[in-house]
């Protein structure tokens, strides 16, 4: 394959202050092609797609350490495979490390290898620490920026996700490839830390350069959701749909955000239409974890609203069942559990809970396994109790950990499903001890997100059961 001329060869990477230890210009260009698609959240057919580029990259230079870093890092960051269960991936990571000991790499490249190795072990904070070391000396290293940003997201480190980009943002001048996408990355960190106006402004700046930047669309969608600007959100998604709908990695998630607006409005048939037309087909085609958790979350929210979802859980279970022993991210685990409970599969439910408990007993370096006992397992148990109608027990499990749930990762909008679960449980409690929990939570929600139709509906429900008196 002759990579497009605009992609950076060995000399271009060196001129950028990011030299790559390979003699192959083809490998250097394919590295750039793969990185570009990762940043843009798309499989570009003109470049050969991510998988196609990685295959050609390995063929162009089998001992190119940064090629192995990129390939292994992308596999791991997708959170669908782990070295614990995937022997081929385990071997690939070990091969990467071995190559790094036999090649004269730069310090930056050695740090990249170590960071991916730490991520593979589940030591996400250490991986981020190593990527930050790279960024201090090489602020325009997009791979370090993206890997650290995504990992902070998994850790629920919202301030770090914002500040990591703030530290390098001034170095990204317009002539640097992918610089406009740094605006989108930065805007997301601002949005997650409640700087909504700044986030929206920056995302719009990014879109003025690249209208197809699905990540910046996603950030603006978040802003409208968190501010309960439902009408504005729907109109924005409608206006911009033609620009982001072909972003194969993020289109499903943007449709998910659109569906959240419709749930707020109580337009459940429209939500199911989006689910059936966009979210489920994307899940079936990709099996990507983002699509999986979106599908689970959407159906769970609808069920809490009293909507029948029919046999839709069965479709998701065919994907999630094989991941019940993964335990890569607690955020994923909880969504897998939604699917097994929704599909009424007690065997898969028990397998997930038992193996998660076992992982928490021997966590090793894995930060998620350390967190499982105090946060992950109580959260999972709350879902089980809710399924069984034990709403007082749900409140007892969730109320003490509600400010720690951020640690399982995900965005504020994604984690809101657990806030809603706690409110719905409190509304259905039998115990007088919990009679004012729902009222308190709804007052808080209304203060943070005024004019939310969903909150108003829940307040009316609370009043109907005499909890607002």
Give a yes or no: residue 358 inside a domain.
yes
Decide if 372 contacts 356 (C-beta within 8 A).
yes
Each residue's pLDDT tens digit, 3-58 = 444 899 999 999 999 999 999 999 999 999 999 999 999 999 999 999 999 999 99
Decide if 341 contacts 384 (C-beta within 8 A).
yes
What is the model's pLDDT at position 285? 94
Q: What integer is the mean pLDDT of 393-403?
A: 97
Q: Is 142 exposed, middle or buried (0-12, 13-18, 19+ CB in 10 A)?
A: buried
Q: Does the pLDDT value for residue 68 go beyond 60?
A: yes
Each residue's pLDDT tens digit, 238-256 = 999 999 998 999 999 999 9
Q: Residue written as tokens 């602020």?
A: 139
Decide if 206 contacts 187 (C-beta within 8 A).
yes
Torsions phi, psi of 61, nearest 5?
Answer: -155, 95
Q: Report in angstroms the alpha-carbon separations of 349 from 120, 131, 226, 308, 368.
A: 26, 36, 32, 21, 19
Domain that holds residue 400: 281-469
d(CA 211, CA 254): 14
Give a yes or no: residue 414 inside a domain.
yes
Residues whose CB falls within 8 Å of the CB of residue 177, separated by 6 or more in sequence, listed in order: 8, 32, 36
- Residue 138, both tokens: 């090489």
* Percent over 90 (pLDDT), the chain: 95
Give a yes or no: residue 314 inside a domain.
yes
What is the model's pLDDT at position 3? 41
Each residue's pLDDT tens digit, 355-384 = 999 999 999 999 999 999 999 999 999 999
Give a yes or no: residue 307 inside a domain.
yes
Give a yes or no: residue 241 inside a domain.
no
What is the model's pLDDT at position 432? 79
Give a yes or no: residue 158 inside a domain.
no
Give a yes or no: residue 465 inside a domain.
yes
| Overall domain count for the chain | 1
Give a yes or no: residue 317 inside a domain.
yes
């Amino acid at each position: 394959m002759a990579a497009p001329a605009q992609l950076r060869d060995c000399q271009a990477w060196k001129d950028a202050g990011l030299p790559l230890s390979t003699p192959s210009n083809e490998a250097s260009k394919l590295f750039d092609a793969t990185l570009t698609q990762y940043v843009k959240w798309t499989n570009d057919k003109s470049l050969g797609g991510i998988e196609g580029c990685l295959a050609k990259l390995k063929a162009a230079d089998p001992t190119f350490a940064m090629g192995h870093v990129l390939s292994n890092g992308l596999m791991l960051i997708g959170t669908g495979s782990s070295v614990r269960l995937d022997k081929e991936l385990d071997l690939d990571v070990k091969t990467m490390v071995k190559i790094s000991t036999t090649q004269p790499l730069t310090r930056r490249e050695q740090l990249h290898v170590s960071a991916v190795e730490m991520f593979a072990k589940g030591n996400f904070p250490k991986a981020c620490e190593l990527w930050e070391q790279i960024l201090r000396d090489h602020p325009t290293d997009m791979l370090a920026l993206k890997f650290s940003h995504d990992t902070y997201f998994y850790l629920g480190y919202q301030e770090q996700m914002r500040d990591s980009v703030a530290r390098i943002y001034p170095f990204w001048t317009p002539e640097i490839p992918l610089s406009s996408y740094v605006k989108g990355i930065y805007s997301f960190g601002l949005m997650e830390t409640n700087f909504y106006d700044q986030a929206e402004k920056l995302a719009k700046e990014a879109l003025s350069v690249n209208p197809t930047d699905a990540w910046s669309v996603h950030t603006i969608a978040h802003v409208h959701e968190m501010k309960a600007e439902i009408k504005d959100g729907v109109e924005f998604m409608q206006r911009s749909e033609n620009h982001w709908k072909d972003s194969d990695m993020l289109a499903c998630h943007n449709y998910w955000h659109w569906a959240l607006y419709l749930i707020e409005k109580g337009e459940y048939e429209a939500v199911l239409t989006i689910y059936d037309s966009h979210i489920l087909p994307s899940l079936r085609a990709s099996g990507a974890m983002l699509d999986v958790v979106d599908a689970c979350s959407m159906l769970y929210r609808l069920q809490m609203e009293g909507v029948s979802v029919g046999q839709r859980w069965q479709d998701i279970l065919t994907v999630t069942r094989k991941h019940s022993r993964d335990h890569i991210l607690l955020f994923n685990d909880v969504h897998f559990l939604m699917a097994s409970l929704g599909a009424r599969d007690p065997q898969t439910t028990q397998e997930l809970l038992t193996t998660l408990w076992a992982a928490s007993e021997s966590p090793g370096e894995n930060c998620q396994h350390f967190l499982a006992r105090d946060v992950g397992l109580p959260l999972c148990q709350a879902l089980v109790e809710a399924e069984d109608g034990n709403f007082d027990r749900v409140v007892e499990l969730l109320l003490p950990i509600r400010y720690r749930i951020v640690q399982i990762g995900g965005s504020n909008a994604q984690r809101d499903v657990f806030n809603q679960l706690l409110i719905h449980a409190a509304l259905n409690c039998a115990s007088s001890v919990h009679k004012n929990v729902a009222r308190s939570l709804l007052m808080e929600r209304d203060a943070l997100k005024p004019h939310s139709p969903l909150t108003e509906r829940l307040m009316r429900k609370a009043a109907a059961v005499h909890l607002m008196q």
